[in-house]
Structure 1
Amino acid sequence: MQITTNKIDSANAKINAAITRSTIDANVEKIAGQLSKEAKIAGFRKGKVPVSAVKKQYGERLVQDAEAQVLRDLLDAGLKEMAIAADTLIGEPQIAKFDKNENGIDVEVVIAMRPAIELGDYTAMVPEVSKPAIDDAAITARIEELATAQAPLVNVDEDRALVNGDTALIDFEGFVDGEAFEGGKAENFALRLGSGQFIPGFEDQVIGMKKDEEKTIDVTFPENYGGAKLAGKPAQFKIKVNAIQMKEAVALDDELAKKMLPGDENATLETLKEKVKEQLQSEAMSTLYNDELKPNLMETFVSAFTIDLPEFIVEQEMDMALNKKAREMSESEIEELRNDAEKVKTMRETFRDDACRAVKATFIVDALAKAENVIVNEQELMQTIYFEAMQMGQDPAAVYKHYQESGYLPAIQMAMIEDRVLSKLLNDKIKEA
């Protein structure tokens, strides 16, 4: 067997070989000999089966096993010649060529490896992070918002018009083409103005009405309205305001603090302000991290590092992007692609840059995670998926199984690792406001 190796770069290598017929035949004899000691074939005692009987019984399977063994031997020899450790391989080696001929088989094996990445002083690329300053006005506004949400509704006795934020107790009945429709009538319905509970235009026309006032308003149901009979239809609503309510005013004092911080008998308004400030700061930091700092830092790393990318991993990423695009296309667009292979090739090529960036980012995150000793184990992965599923009101076990069967778990795990690595690097550069 003649072997030619080519270590293209730190991420890609090829092994070419001309496997002779005699090599395959020798493997067939060896495997048949081993089977003759173990196989059960009618008419022969175990361990006494002739090799000829084994060959007759297993035929083509022996040849397939012999070829598979030759490929394993070829891979081992090629890796040894190129000094490539088996644990650096990514995925299974790809058989790019397997041409049988009368002399044997011409083979080409494509190998992908974890690329070498020189991180250098990567922490120098991480910017300093300033904690957002939270002013007193923002703290007071949040406390008022929280207090108002818990405050009871009280009737407004003064003679005034409804304003945004009020709750109107109304009777209403809706009509389409002059006919009342099912579900379009209610009495003493509590409508908080500005909540967006009703179709567009309804609440806007209730604002300004007074207690005991009646009027008919015109609205149009949205085209995507749930009820097909009403979608896109103009409608009239007869409305009567029975009462106007608003949230009871709440004093911002120590008593409020004790109510909002149960379990802390010594809570004061200042204590509450500190807790709210911490919450606002945490929210602001989360927004800053997720919307700006993390994406920018990842882009900095991707631009700064030059690494070799496993070609077939990039190709797989391009295929996934193409398949995703196809799922978003119409039947006529897909039919057009079926009849134009060159157009499919051109479209697929448009995903190359993004695919290279995604693959590059994955290897950079992997290297940074090792450097920073960041890991996400299987239990943490499962807990995260279960928690998010429960928040969405879904069956956690079913969601996890779906991700598992669809092969999404590694991608979710890598996303979690990326989040932790970037957060850790940024946290190390935080300075107080």
Structure 2
Amino acid sequence: MNITKEQIDDLNAVVKVAISKEDYQDKVEQILKDYRKQANIPGFRKGQVPMGLIKKQYGKAVLVDEVNKLLQDNLNKYLTEEKLDVLGNPLPKQQDDFDWDSENLDFEFELGLAPDFEVKLKTKKAVTQYKIVADKKMIDDQVERIQKQYGKLVSKTEVGKKDEVTGFFANEAEEIDHKTTLELDKIKSKKAIDALVGKKVGEVVTLNTKGLFKEDYLLSSSLGITPDKAEKLAIDVTFTIEEINEREPAELNQELFDKLFGEGNVSSEKELKDKIKEDSEKQFEQQSDQKLLNDITEKLIEETTFELPADFLQKWIQVSGEEMLTNDQAKEEYEKSEQGLRYQLIEGKIIKENDLQVQFDELKEFAKGFIKAQMAQYGHMDPKEEELDGIAARVLGNQDEVKRLSEQLMSQKLLDLYKEKANLKVKEVSYDDFIKEAYS
């Protein structure tokens, strides 16, 4: 067997594979002998079928199968040994005059080659790295929510502006009949608040659904209807009052601190606010990091220019799916995937040049951190190391989970690298300003 490469240009090549009879004859003969031993053909005893008949019936199919195996194995080996960085897979060239009866078989494959390019992490224009800070208003609002959540309900005889009112919403035409609890400080409509304030248990109030709540999602849950139905709903509904309560805020004392953060971890209102600030900003960091990763990705694609073997890739896309695509469909799919392919090449080069690797021990610790964070959400704040090791072992026994966590860990390694070497400008913002700037 002889394999040679003809370089067309920097991004395209043709590999020629010449296979002689000696490369496949012994294997084909052995397979046909095995067929002969097992063949059941009317008129012949098992194992006594003439070899000429076996070759006539099975020879071509066995030959084609064995030659294709030789091609696949040796072509892959050649690409590896020659260190050819190919895109997609080699595409066999159409040969109209190909003759399987010839003793010497010649094949040609088109290759799309990865471009040679340089990645500069220090982009021309700096990328904004947002540092989201928890401002005083946010912290005070969180303290108020905590006090409200852990406070106690005090029964009242008539509705006040900050009370909670339990009752039934009804509208016969829209088939609404749903019990709910309204928090008056979440109602947007001044007309609705005025209608409710001063009312007593047993009284019925008519409210309009349009613009009733400060948050749109509250309408569907309060009326017991789907969000789609609630979206454009503008009708009058009756609300029959069954219960009126004032939520007396919890005291900011040691009992509450211990309930929130474990015994002795927080011992004053200042420490509570510091803890809220720390936890909030840690959560915000995940959002700002994701924004940074996205922005650097876009900037690297924009500033790292190189050509791709577009014609080859479109041909490869055309034939590589379950169904053959038309030229126009393949072109459209290529245009959709081009930016992703460019970043795959850029990312791969960054990983290689900076020797970023995911080691198993690192992956195990990363998995344990992920598990610990999930357990904390359910109130399990201090799991034992043996417990984490056991759960991590089960998680890492699932290959899909290994792949997912490995990708997340590599993204974290890339992010750390960008923070160290990329051209960044840090900007401190409140969470509200971050949302306005980042996603406007």
**TM-score (normalised: structure 2):** 0.62
Q: CA deviation at 1:8?
A: 4.7
Q: Aligned letter for 1:283? A: Q
Matched, 1:257 2:246: no
Q: CA deviation at 1:358?
A: 0.6
The equivalent residue for 2:177 is: 184
Pairing partner for 1:359 from 297, 319, 341? 341
Q: CA deviation at 1:96?
A: 3.6
How do residues 310-349 of structure 1 correspond to structure 2 at under 5 angstroms?
311=310, 314-315=313-314, 345-346=327-328, 349=331
Question: Can you list the C-alpha shifts for 1:246-267, whole angstroms capped at 9, x where unaligned?
Answer: 3213344555433322222662
Matched, 1:94 2:111: no
The equivalent residue for 1:30 is: 26
Question: Can you list the C-alpha shifts for 1:382-417, whole angstroms capped at 9, x where unaligned?
Answer: 979x989999xxxxxxxx9xx97xxx997x678636
* 8 Å Cα contact 2:363-2:409 kept in structure 1: no
In 2, distance between residues paired with 1:99 and 1:193? Answer: 80
3-state DSSP class of the match of 1:41?
A: helix
Q: CA deviation at 1:270?
A: 2.6
The equivalent residue for 2:356 is: 373
Aligned length: 378
In 1, distance between residues paired with 2:295 and 2:6? Answer: 37
Q: Aligned letter for 1:285? A: E
In 1, distance between residues paired with 2:231 and 2:125? Answer: 54
The equivalent residue for 2:214 is: none
The equivalent residue for 2:199 is: 211
Q: CA deviation at 1:297?
A: 0.9
Question: Can you list the C-alpha shifts for 1:120-145, whole angstroms capped at 9, x where unaligned?
Answer: 66599875846444444432322222
* 8 Å Cα contact 1:168-1:243 kept in structure 2: yes
Gap regions ≥5 residues in structure 2: 39-43, 211-218, 378-395, 429-440
In 2, distance between residues paired with 1:294 and 1:312? Answer: 31
3-state DSSP class of the match of 2:71?
A: helix
How do residues 11-50 of structure 1 correspond to structure 2 at under 5 angstroms?
12-16=12-16, 27=23, 29-35=25-31, 41=37
* 8 Å Cα contact 1:133-1:281 kept in structure 2: yes
What is the RMSD computed on CA atoms of the aligned residues? Answer: 5.6
In 1, distance between residues paired with 2:300 and 2:330? Answer: 26
CA 347–77 in structure 1, closer or farther in 2 if over 3 Å, else same:
closer
Q: Which segment drifts farther, 355-364 or 122-131? A: 122-131
| Identity percentage of aligned residues | 18
The equivalent residue for 1:424 is: 416
Q: CA deviation at 1:278?
A: 1.0
CA 246–106 in structure 1, closer or farther in 2 if over 3 Å, else same:
farther
* 8 Å Cα contact 1:132-1:284 kept in structure 2: yes
Question: Can you list the C-alpha shifts for 1:208-264, whole angstroms capped at 9, x where unaligned?
Answer: 313224333455999x95599999898654333344323213344555433322222
CA 366–303 in structure 1, closer or farther in 2 if over 3 Å, else same:
same
Pairing partner for 2:171 from 166, 171, 174? 174
Q: Aligned letter for 2:282? A: S
Q: CA deviation at 1:281?
A: 1.4
Question: Can you list the C-alpha shifts for 1:37-88, whole angstroms capped at 9, x where unaligned?
Answer: 7665268999x998656524632223313532663587379759xx7227x4
3-state DSSP class of the match of 1:250?
A: coil
* 8 Å Cα contact 2:209-2:235 kept in structure 1: yes
Q: CA deviation at 1:352?
A: 4.1
Q: Aligned letter for 2:182? A: L
CA 152–376 in structure 1, closer or farther in 2 if over 3 Å, else same:
farther
| Structure showing greater relative contact order (alpha-carbon pairs closer than 8 Å, 6 or more residues apart) | 2
**TM-score (normalised: structure 1):** 0.63
Q: CA deviation at 1:300?
A: 2.0
In 2, distance between residues paired with 1:49 and 1:365? Answer: 60
Question: Can you list the C-alpha shifts for 1:90-149, whole angstroms capped at 9, x where unaligned?
Answer: 564222424344595664312345554544665998758464444444323222222222
